[in-house]
Amino acid sequence: MILKYDVLVIGGGHAGCEAACASANMGAKTCLVTMDMNKIAQMSCNPAIGGIAKGQIVREIDALGGQMGLVTDATAIQFRMLNRSKGPAMWSPRAQCDRGKFIWQWRSVLDHTDNLDIWQDQADELLVESVAVSQQQAKQVVGVRTIWGAELRAKAVIITAGTFLNGLMHIGRKMVPGGRIAEPAVPHFTESITRHGIRSERMKTGTPVRIDKRSVHFEDLEIQEGEHDFHQFSYMSEPRPLPQLTCWTCNTNPAVHETLRSGLKDSPLYNGQIQSIGPRYCPSIETKLVTFPEREQHPLFLEPEGTDTNELYLNGFSSSLPMDIQIAALKHIPAFRDLKVYRPGYAIEYDFFDPTQLNHSLESKVISGLFMAGQVNGTTGYEEAGGQGIIAGINAALKAGSAGCNDTTTENTFILHRDEAYIGVLIDDLVTKGVDEPYRMFTSRAEYRILLRQDDADARLTKKAYQIGVAKKDRYDWWVQKKEHIEEIENFCKEYHIKPKAINGALEALGSTPLVYGCKLEDLIARPELNFEKLQEIIPELKETLNRPNQRKEEITEAAEVHIKYKGYIEREKIVADKMHRLEDIKIKGHFNYNEIQQLSTEARQKLTAIDPETLAQASRIPGVSPSDINVILVLMGR
């Protein structure tokens, strides 16, 4: 049987779901191939979305017309805004979700997306043909063949296979093939890709024990409450519908550590069983013991898996030690003295493909029409996967020539730059620098993080997304309305004059320096100790402006206040970003044979030849390419 589509998406995880929806919403006839329709967008590890820098990515997915923010808000059971003690550039939303409801909410989204089919099967072979391009033979993807013999043909294929490619799970010395617990690995698909010259390597990740709530002594745990203010992930969501639950915290202790150390000889990480590299920033509990031997305790977070289940997730206790060691160690924690578990933690090794083999569109440099997104690119995290997925879906639809753009001048690729989105930082890091461990996004990776705040994702991205057809008109209209309200508040603050006599008494009461001369209201807002909430109580006209009817007045007020307070910093960072854009405009791909340029360092010649950067700015970010190497290229360009 042969089925024909514009775009095929292989894998129904977070990258695959976003890719499939983006492609279909742009008008491409799309098929999502998944091994189990009942585990769509499964949260294989922690049932939580967002976190530091990750929350900003989810906001960006939403601003682009993606679904992760909407699904998260509909299934959230605890919400928190992290990093509130720092400036708004660092604020990061995070939500604990109901694992089961998250799957079915995503399934409902897919089932109601036009142009999208779902095919339950397992991809077994990538189908590639040779085509003539400029009197040379090039490789073009044409589809996949499944284990049941179905042949699915398409103009573009997106691989989002997660940890399933030759997946191998570890608990102690026991090894079982699998993509995740109780699910089979995909054994041959990697080889059908690498035979065409694409390099694959191995990575490792892991997950913690799952605990039976009925066996926990909660009186020995510290409660961690969520927040109940206006913040959400999507600008389009209704208030969170599910009950908001508590989480709990505790610590390991020396007795726990002693028990864990007794099992290190059987740890796959330390007995040579696992050779690949795991995530540095989410280490297993045994890695923490080896790396920080002097520490007597490590924090643990006990988090609910849903509103209707006794299953709890123990954040901070990822492990692949023998199961009896894991359980015995945990019983030394008072709250877990009568512990019962649903299953132990485990590690998993899997194939990924070196992302420097991709263009910024996430299309392969080796096989035309082949796109990759998610953990197959060496990343970790649902959010990083979703961000790649929506970009791959957009570009696959453009490649297939079936995208219904609202702007006829749109180019045939959609790329986000480092000053436009954390997603842009993520993809640029992957294709320029590659990975030697599972890549996780942090705010520190972004040099323009004042421009990439969680409150302004739609200001950066929604118009661009609407122009290419991935964000729909309702999403765009809501942004236009929000933009008008923000500008109304900013203009009022810019024009409203404050007289010292009228406000000095109130300023002193608020602990702020009295005025000597009159000023505009925006000058007061810029003071760190003052904000709209305080000033509207003493300036009636401000209160009236802030409380005019609109959909999300708290969100609009916050966005306007942040922009006023940080206006100088924002403008300064824009100037720096504009300077870097000049290097982005200098195209160098195809202009040089780097191996022949003896003025370049040996390492620079090797790295530039391997990555073949599109622009001079991308070349400047490649590890091993020095400023003097960039100057050499500039001189040669001048000649």
Q: CATH number of the domain at 204-348, please?
A: 2.40.30.260
Residue 584 has pLDDT above 90, yes or no: no
Partners of residue 349 on adjacent β-strands: 168, 204
CATH 1.10.10.1800 fits 473-573, yes or no: yes
532-555 burial, b at 16+ Cβ within 10 Å, e below that, comes to bebbbeebeebeebbeeeeebeeb
**CB-CB contact of 378 with 359 (8 Å):** no
Mean pLDDT taken over the chain: 94
**Which CA distances in Å does 207 have to 46, 157, 265, 494?**
8, 30, 20, 51
Higher local confidence (pLDDT), 105 or 592: 105
Strand partners, 177: 168
What span, in angstroms and rounded, lies between the C-alpha atoms of 596 and 612? 14
Using the predicted structure, report yes or no on whether residue 278 has a pLDDT greater than 90.
no
CB 457 within 8 A of CB 56: yes
Q: Which residue has the higher pLDDT, 397 or 552?
A: 397
Torsion, Cα of 545, 546, 549, 554 (10° steps): 170
Q: Output the DSSP codes for 284-328.
A: -HHHHHHH-TT-S--EEEEEES-SS--EEEEEEEE--S-HHHHHH
In this structure, the chain runs to a length of 639
Q: pTM (2 decimals)?
A: 0.94
Mind listing the pLDDT tens digit for each residue in 438-451?
Answer: 999 999 889 899 99
**Is-contact 608 599, C-beta < 8 A?**
no
585-638: CATH superfamily: GidA associated domain, C-terminal subdomain (1.10.150.570)
Distance, in Å, from the CA atom of 579 to the CA atom of 244, rounded to the nearest integer, reads: 46
Q: Dump pLDDT digits (tens) for 218-260.
A: 999 999 999 999 999 998 898 999 999 999 999 999 999 999 9
Tokens 């109304």, residue located: 488
In sequence order, the 6+-apart residues with CB closer than 8 A to the CB of 601 are: 624, 626, 628, 629
Tell me: the pLDDT tens digits for 172-193?
999 999 999 999 999 999 999 9
Q: Which of 354-368, 403-417, 599-613 has the highest mean pLDDT?
A: 354-368
Residue-level pLDDT at 410:
54
Residue 403, pLDDT score? 64
Q: At what angle do helices 382-400 and 54-63 cross, to 10 degrees?
A: 30
Tell me the pLDDT tens digit for each residue of 532-567: 999 999 999 999 999 887 668 899 999 999 999 999
pLDDT of residue 586: 85
Question: In the predicted model, is pLDDT for residue 409 greater than 60?
Answer: no
- Do 632 and 598 contact (CB within 8 A), yes or no? no
Between 3.50.50.60, 3.40.50.2300, 3.30.1950.10, 3.30.1360.120, what CATH number should domain 2-41+59-67+96-203+350-468 receive?
Answer: 3.50.50.60
- Residue 464 reports pLDDT greater than 90: yes
User: Which pLDDT score, from 0 to 100, does residue 212 have?
Assistant: 98
Would you say 555 and 546 are in contact if contact means Cβ atoms under 8 Å apart?
A: no
User: What's the confidence (pLDDT) of residue 100?
Assistant: 98
Task: Give the H/E segment covering residue 4.
Answer: strand 2-4
Instruction: State the pLDDT confidence band at 634, using cuts at 50, 70 and 90.
Output: confident
d(CA 456, CA 182): 41
Please state which of the ranges 313-322, 325-334, 353-362, 551-560 shows the lowest mean pLDDT: 551-560
3-state secondary structure of 11: coil
pLDDT of residue 29: 98
Calculate what percentage of the chain has a pLDDT beyond 70: 98
Is pLDDT at 285 greater than 90 in this prediction?
yes
Structure confidence at residue 405 as a pLDDT band (50, 70, 90)? low
Mean pLDDT (whole number) for 611-622: 88
> Where, residue-wise, is CATH 1.10.150.570 in the chain?
585-638
Confidence of residue 638 (pLDDT cuts 50, 70, 90): confident
In the chain, CATH 2.40.30.260 sits at 204-348
Q: What is the pLDDT of residue 178?
A: 98
Give me the percent of the chain exceeding a pLDDT of 90. Answer: 82
pLDDT for position 552: 82
150 has pLDDT over 80? yes
Distance CA 439, CA 356 (A): 13
Q: List the structure tokens of 532.
A: 């709209």
Mean pLDDT of 119-134: 92
Question: Could you give the maximum distance between any two Cα atoms of the chain, in Å?
Answer: 83
pLDDT tens, 480-522? 999 999 999 999 999 999 999 989 999 999 999 999 999 999 9
pLDDT tens, 337-355?
999 999 999 999 999 999 9
- Over 590-612, what HEC string results? CCCCHHHCCCCCHHHHHHHHHHC
Residues of the chain with CATH 3.50.50.60: 2-41+59-67+96-203+350-468
Q: Where in the chain is the domain with CATH 1.10.10.1800?
A: 473-573
Answer yes or no: are the C-beta atoms of 316 and 209 closer than 8 Å: no
300 pLDDT above the threshold of 80: yes
Count of alpha carbons within 13 angstroms of residue 316, beta-carbon side: 13
Which comes out higher in pLDDT, residue 601 or 92? 92
